[in-house]
Amino acid sequence: MFSMSPVALAAPLARDLLRHTLPEFEARAKTLPLTLQEINDALPEGGLPRGGVVELAAPRGLGRSTSVALSACASAQAEARLRGTSATSGAWCAWIDPSGSLFAPAVARAGVDLSRLLVARPPLEMLAKVAVRMAMSRAFAVLVIDVAGVPGAFGQGAVKGERGAPAAGRREEDLARWVNVVRKLALATEGSDGTILLLTDRQAARPMPLPVAMRLELEQVAEDRLTVRVAKDRRGRVTSPTTVVLGSKAKAERTAGSEPRPVLSRA
């Protein structure tokens, strides 16, 4: 009777296991999960894409895009700590905050290590150059660029021409310039483990889309609920608005249901 050795039997089993599990591990390695599991569940791959630019668009003053960005920073820092060394690449995050709206106590409450968060507040005329330089350094696991409400950025605000009249041509030039800036940001982070987040005003008019890997639209519908919509995805996975519950109610609902998926990827 013909029989196979344990080693010979194990080889095809190992190949079959790798064939089924490698795609999952590769997807996790290309995704940065948030500490907000409810939002992870609403995203195509359970997190934000690495190696690309993600636009977080929310009504100006809502603050939810800031919360999502802080969650991404906290997740990236925690992931680096899981790797066992404070010097691990990716432990540092950066936040470009030209309007000075970032509030340190809120950052700490979100679980972000302030000692490993670089905050830059460049003048508006240097904003694009500083953003590209920081992206090209590849020194940060998450680079947040908060341009919500910044005049001239992504079609926001009215640029005045002579005698105070809105200069539509100049505004289009500013937007075209920022489209090129986003392309440079995308090239700078392509193939890396880093993620660049653009915080924009969802209600701002714009004549052309930005060349981002993903655009998330956030809208608050209640104090502890908001809708998340994937409006653009590099693989074409656009979704309808999904209502997510945040805070203590979300934890209670998860506890009453099935066990939540792990938030942090060790890949």
Q: What is the pLDDT of residues 13-48, one digit of tens each?
A: 545 544 544 344 444 568 999 999 999 999 999 999
- Give Cβ neighbours of residue 173 (< 8 Å, ≥ 6 apart): none
Q: How confident is the model at residue 213 (pLDDT cuts 50, 70, 90)?
A: very high
> What is the pLDDT confidence band of residue 85, given thresholds at 50, 70 and 90?
low
- In this model, does residue 253 exceed pLDDT 60? no
CA end-to-end span of the chain, whole Å? 44
Matching residue, tokens 């906290």? 74
Domain locations along the chain: 25-256
pLDDT of residue 3: 55
Q: Name the residue type at position 60.
A: R
* Cβ-based neighbours of 49, under 8 Å, separated by 6 or more: 30, 31, 32, 195, 213, 214, 234
pLDDT at 165 > cutoff 80 = no
More confident residue, 156 or 158: 156
Q: Round to whole Å and give the CA distance between 91 and 133.
A: 19
| pLDDT of 238 higher than 80 | yes
In the chain the beta strands, taken as DSSP E runs, fall at 31-32, 48-49, 52-58, 93-96, 117-120, 142-146, 195-201, 214-222, 225-233, 242-245
The model's confidence at residue 176, banded by pLDDT at 50, 70 and 90, is low
- Are 201 and 156 in contact by the 8 Å Cβ rule? The answer is yes
93-140 per-position pLDDT tens digit: 999 999 899 999 999 999 999 999 999 999 988 999 999 999 999 999
Helix axes 127-137, 168-189, angle to 10 degrees: 10
25-256: CATH, from 3.40.630.40, 1.10.1280.10, 3.40.50.300, 3.40.1160.10: 3.40.50.300
Specify the pairing of strand 214-222 against strand 225-233: antiparallel
Which DSSP string corresponds to 186-218?
HHHHTTSS-EEEEEEETTS--SS----SEEEEE
- pLDDT averaged over the chain? 79
